[in-house]
Chain A
Amino acid sequence: MLDARSAMASAKPFVSEALTLREAPDFTIQQLSWFTTADEKSLKQALGAMPLRVGSTAESDHGLLLRIGPRQLWCFGKLPEFYGDVLVTPLSSSRTRIEVAGAKSRDLLTHCAAIDFHENAFKPGHFVMTGIHHTPVTIHCIAENQFHLYALRTFGLSVWEWLVDASEGLTNA
């Protein structure tokens, strides 16, 4: 197997008492797209689960599912056999995943994106597709104060630098 290289090979984790940032590599994303509600139904059957609204997630036998569009999903596991018009686009290299954790993680996110990150408004299991540093980033709340950020790979290091710069201000204050 060819060596896999991350877009953030040069970045070191940022560790402080209330805030930790590090790369969370090694994930698989398959984008699934379809056209009709019938397609969606059969896909739901094949996967065993289906998040219904854009921005919601579901755990399935085939891994985590993120509903990224009205007729699109991201699947983080191994795909089942499909029947019908389901299109697959592998996207595992297209994103860099950054994990943000700690008591100040919500504070950090308010420095970076125009989303309401209050704990009552953005709960574990939710995700948003929004902008950080002018680039599209998907932010997934995986636990109370723990988040996965999916930045476009080619902007990954730049988004990382932007997050670390904000973190330094937060933890030195």
Chain B
Amino acid sequence: MTAFRRRGSGGRIDRTTTIPFTYDGSRLFGHGGDTLASALLASGKTLVGRSFKYHRPRGFLSAGVEEPNGLFTLGEFGRTEPNMPGTLTEVHEGLIAKSQNAWPSPDFDVMAVNSLASPLFGAGFYYKTFMGPFKRSWMFYEPFIRKAAGLGRATEQTDTARYDVINGFCDVLVVGAGPAGLATALTASRSGLRVVLAELDFELGGSLLSGTNESLERWRKSAIEELSQQPNTRILARTVVQGLYDGNQALLHTRAVPGSVASRSESLRFKTIIHCSGAIERPLVFHNNDRPGVMLAGAVRTYLNRFALAPLKQAVVVTNNDSAYATAFDLAEADVAVTIAELRAAPSGDLLARAAQLGIAIFPNTGIADVVGTKQVQQVKLGGRHSVTIDCDVLAMSGGWSPNVHLTSHGGIKPRYDEKIAGFVPGEFAAAHFGAGSVLGEFGILAAVRGGEAAARASLEFIGHKKSVKAVEPPPIRDDRAYGISSVWGTASDAKKAFVDFQNDVTAKDVRSTHQEGYLSVEHMKRYTTLGMGTDQGKTSNINALAMMADLRGLSIQETGTTTFRPPYLPLTIGALAGRSVGHHFRPTRRSPMHDWHESHGATFIEAGLWMRAWYYDWAGPSPETAYVKEMQLVRKGVGIADVSTLGKIDVQGPGAAEFLNRVYVNGFAKLAVGKARYGVMLNDDGVVLDDGTTSHISENQFYLTTTTAQAGEVMSWLEYLLQCHWPDMKVHVTSLTDEWGGMAVSGPKSRETLQLAFPETDFSNEGLPYMGVKDITFDGATVRILRLSFSGELAYEVHCPANFAIALWEHILRAGEPLGIKPYGLEALASLRIEKGHVAGLELDHRNTLDDLGLGKMAAKEKPFIGKELRQRENLQAPERRSLVGLELMEPDKKLRGGSILFAATDEIKGHGRGYVTSVTWSTELQKFIALGLYQGGLEHEGEEIIAAFPLKNEQARLKLVSPHFIDKEGARLHA
């Protein structure tokens, strides 16, 4: 069925280009300048979707951003985008549009039977039916309901589009390029400051695009021409200002130009913002006001003048204000027979005269009683003072205009109800915010232009711009006319199917029953009825609902208030926010200086935080389970080399360095000799362990501090905090060397021999380099730092050097040790060796444990003060029932021991949080069984006891023996070998 015909001339479409597109599988055509909506209307598609709950036939209500009904799924495969308003979508070659919420088609929709059952689907239907006493039922029914109701569906395929996110800066951000926005941008642009003009349409002009006045068109064109030639002005069409955030930041999203796949989000910092975002027309509430062909009066005018679409023969206009007369007059001039149902007693006198001239019949004090026609308006029954039935193709309605106060409210500024215009206007602007035009409730074009210029001047003054700026020439038109709205919202609000919210199928009756059931606040009403939710977020429904609610409660609309406006203004695909941060680029990757070597020598990598670490090498086997065991054996019996460059490394320099370290470590560093290293533990202020590591004394005023891989950044910031915020008089500088230095552990009984071969001029004997000794040497032009320390419990060394030379040094050591069988070992073996030795690491240092919990209590200095010394004395940290570090051996060889298992005493019921948990597990090559570290109440008091490890996720239990955490070489003979 057809409501509109394309006119032979006029409009802003380019009749010389014919653009094919696909709609629900059939091939249709539009012209350049068409939206999907105008092209569908021109093709006779008045009915384009089914409603959310009742599956009622629906057509376009609007011609713009507020569209609640005409939503489509665009594209296919990974490029599928659901819920796109046809009124914003440009027709382009290759456009594939599908209607939504209708099967098999909007014309014949199986679910339309919902409409017959509509009494069941009233306000709060879901809550009452599925979430009542039997709460489980919602879980059961929800998937079915979601399938039957609802809007478009997202694709599960990978989106191939490109989403860029950029950072912008400007002096003046102008939101909207209607008459107010153009005048604002012109003035601001002439100052020479940096201006951004954002317009959500693909053409600039706003309401000017819907008119026919030639002098206005000339004014619009010359404004655009001037602006586009200003190098200081960026014009962003197709761009929605989605939200405003603290610190004068806006999120802008620019839709892809038709045919391209790149959309762009911009985080824009502005010095001032000028709101010229216009107003949105409101529907009227009457029975069957949702029938296809019932449209907003301004939209009918837009389709007529911008898209050259005239109703076939007859139109009825219903209004409570003067603005709809422009539509009526333009329709009459396009040879459409027009009848006006005037809700007020009379419009202004000059309108009556003009209507008479054009042969338009006006019925005063009259509204709409009913709309006849299911899939398309056929007749309109007037009600009120006059009861007449009129044949028509289109019913144009106007309930007045609502200023677009969405964005102006994002900073938490509540809109204010203005009786004069029967609508909400922005609350008092915060500093740096200005506005002009209909967003302020000033609906005339001249008012918009003058207001725009004034707002721009005020914003320039706010920025402190002193130079004079040339005035904007206003368009040569007559003075603005009055708006003349009367707060009459509808005639038949007791009707059954008088819709307030089209997208969510909320009727006037629903609003009334919500009130009757005691939901008084607008926020409750919203959630109970879903009014104002959905992809249009109530852009057309809010005021009507608030007016009804106010009326029912006997309050003013101001007292009733609005719901909260939050970003985004329009639905935004997640990709637009994620930008390029997807897949490989989701987060940065950190690579050791030896990464390339590992990659080309058979390493399998594992992510550890941001680091890519060599997990195991293929010389040891094809899978981690077997490879790490072989790599461990290599270290226990021969010699291995492992990359430890991920350790945090910090240069601590200055005359106060020793005293500084003495304060932050629990153990003493004041007397550490040059050439010596010491294992240290640091606490937070609260007495809980922060980190551990080895720190070496390099020269009088210089120390080389290492941290765990995980806490490197944390420790660095902590040291800087202490020095800069609290101890500014200490003469110490700290600098991260994590990136500057690479490190490798050379471990195993043959490590000394290996290094002796690698660095023949250095003395590696117990005298030359004793356990915990440090030596800086120069090797082949590079500084090499050799530390004798061990993470594995074997005789071992760490060799550090500037990262540029790390691969060369690594290869040198491998070559030197080749006769001794040296091979690389990875993270899995590294971590397993330390478990056998009973060294705590990240899994135990979880910011909850004290020194005593970790068996390190003896390290704490008795005499000297250190950070955390006071608060570690807190009673709870001393409590005997605290969990402390234990070793665990699996007693049942056929079972598996898992990290995270919950520990219970043998006699406990296996329930609840237990007495502790397993932190780290490994296969022990020495003991030939699974061993673990864990935390257990009472700790080593229970040494020798049999306990239970439970892993409820897999319903597993295993018997363990609680032992000392030092599984090998308790005396440290190997270390000191």
Q: Does A100 contact B (CB under 8 A)?
A: no
A17: B residues at CB distance < 8 A? none
Distance in Å from the Cβ of A31 to the closest Cβ of chain B? 6
Q: Does A92 contact B (CB under 8 A)?
A: yes
Q: Can you list 30 A-B contacts (CB < 8 A)?
A: A2-B779, A2-B782, A2-B808, A3-B805, A5-B593, A5-B804, A5-B806, A7-B591, A7-B593, A33-B733, A85-B731, A87-B653, A87-B701, A87-B733, A90-B802, A94-B739, A110-B167, A118-B169, A133-B588, A134-B587, A153-B593, A153-B739, A154-B590, A154-B738, A154-B739, A155-B588, A165-B580, A166-B580, A169-B580, A173-B260
Given contacts A7-B803, A89-B653, 14 further A-B contacts (CB under 8 A): A1-B780, A2-B780, A85-B731, A92-B740, A92-B804, A93-B741, A94-B736, A111-B167, A153-B740, A154-B591, A154-B611, A157-B591, A159-B588, A173-B260
A-B contact number at CB 8 A: 133
A101: B residues at CB distance < 8 A? none
Distance in Å from the Cβ of B752 to the closest Cβ of chain A? 22
Compute how far the CA of A69 lies from the CA of B486 in the bound complex, rounded to whole angstroms.
65
Q: Does A128 contact B (CB under 8 A)?
A: no
Compute how far the CA of A114 lies from the CA of B247 in the bound complex, rounded to whole angstroms.
13
Compute how far the CA of A9 lies from the CA of B599 in the bound complex, rounded to whole angstroms.
12
Residues 417-445 of B, flagged 1 when their CB comes within 8 A of A and 0 if not, give 00000000000000000000000000000
Closest to A32 in B: B733
Q: Does A72 contact B (CB under 8 A)?
A: yes
Does B167 lie within 8 Å of A115, measured CB to CB?
yes
Closest to B736 in A: A94
Q: Does B737 contact A (CB under 8 A)?
A: yes
Closest to B780 in A: A2
Q: Does B168 contact A (CB under 8 A)?
A: yes
Does A85 lie within 8 Å of B654, measured CB to CB?
yes
Does B164 lie within 8 Å of A169, measured CB to CB?
yes
A154: B residues at CB distance < 8 A? 590-593, 611, 645, 738-739
A152: B residues at CB distance < 8 A? 739
Which chain A residues numbered 88 to 134 have a C-beta less than 8 Å away from chain B? 89-95, 110-111, 113-116, 118, 121, 133-134
B856: A residues at CB distance < 8 A? none
Does A93 lie within 8 Å of B740, measured CB to CB?
yes
Distance in Å from the Cβ of A153 to the closest Cβ of chain B? 4
Does A113 lie within 8 Å of B167, measured CB to CB?
yes
B345: A residues at CB distance < 8 A? none
Does A111 lie within 8 Å of B654, measured CB to CB?
no
Residue from A10, A92, A94, A118 in contact with B596 in the complex, judged by beta carbons closer than 8 Å: A10
B169: A residues at CB distance < 8 A? 116, 118, 121
B806: A residues at CB distance < 8 A? 5
Compute how far the CA of A113 lies from the CA of B739 in the bound complex, rounded to whole angstroms.
21
Compute how far the CA of A92 lies from the CA of B802 in the bound complex, rounded to whole angstroms.
8
In the A-B complex, the 7 residue pairs with the smallest Cβ-Cβ separation, listed nearest first, are A1-B781, A94-B740, A93-B803, A2-B808, A93-B802, A116-B169, A33-B733
Compute how far the CA of A92 lies from the CA of B807 in the bound complex, rounded to whole angstroms.
16
Q: Does B589 contact A (CB under 8 A)?
A: yes
Does A4 lie within 8 Å of B805, measured CB to CB?
yes
Compute how far the CA of A14 lies from the CA of B591 in the bound complex, rounded to whole angstroms.
21
| Interface residues in chain A, defined as those with a beta carbon under 8 Å from any beta carbon in chain B | 1-7, 9-10, 31, 33, 35, 71-72, 85, 87, 89-95, 110-111, 113-116, 118, 121, 133-135, 152-155, 157-159, 161-162, 165-166, 169, 173
Residues 786-827 of B, flagged 1 when their CB comes within 8 A of A and 0 if not, give 000000000000000011111111001000000000000000
Given known A89-B651, A135-B588, contact A3–B808 (CB-CB < 8 A): yes
Does A110 lie within 8 Å of B168, measured CB to CB?
yes
B739: A residues at CB distance < 8 A? 93-95, 152-154
Distance in Å from the Cβ of B782 to the closest Cβ of chain A? 5
A92: B residues at CB distance < 8 A? 740, 802, 804
Compute how far the CA of A142 lies from the CA of B231 in the bound complex, rounded to whole angstroms.
24
B282: A residues at CB distance < 8 A? none
Distance in Å from the Cβ of B713 to the closest Cβ of chain A? 11
Compute how far the CA of A53 lies from the CA of B485 in the bound complex, rounded to whole angstroms.
61
Given known A111-B164, A158-B588, A161-B585, contact A4–B804 (CB-CB < 8 A): yes
B653: A residues at CB distance < 8 A? 33, 87, 89
Q: Does B238 contact A (CB under 8 A)?
A: no
Compute how far the CA of A169 lies from the CA of B592 in the bound complex, rounded to whole angstroms.
29
A162: B residues at CB distance < 8 A? 580, 585, 588
A169: B residues at CB distance < 8 A? 162, 164, 262, 580
Closest to B596 in A: A9
Given known A2-B781, A9-B596, A110-B167, contact A155–B590 (CB-CB < 8 A): yes
Given known A1-B781, A157-B591, contact A89–B164 (CB-CB < 8 A): no
Distance in Å from the Cβ of A69 to the closest Cβ of chain B? 9
Distance in Å from the Cβ of B575 to the closest Cβ of chain A? 14
Which chain B residues numbered 662 to 676 have a C-beta less than 8 Å away from chain A? none
Which of B611, B733, B782, B808 neighbours the largest number of chain A CB atoms within 10 Å of its CB?
B733
Does B740 lie within 8 Å of A161, measured CB to CB?
no
Which of A87, A90, A113, A114 neighbours the largest number of chain B CB atoms within 10 Å of its CB?
A87
Q: Does B166 contact A (CB under 8 A)?
A: yes
Residue from A33, A91, A116 in contact with B740 in the complex, judged by beta carbons closer than 8 Å: A91
Distance in Å from the Cβ of B168 to the closest Cβ of chain A? 7
Distance in Å from the Cβ of B579 to the closest Cβ of chain A? 9
Does A158 lie within 8 Å of B591, measured CB to CB?
yes
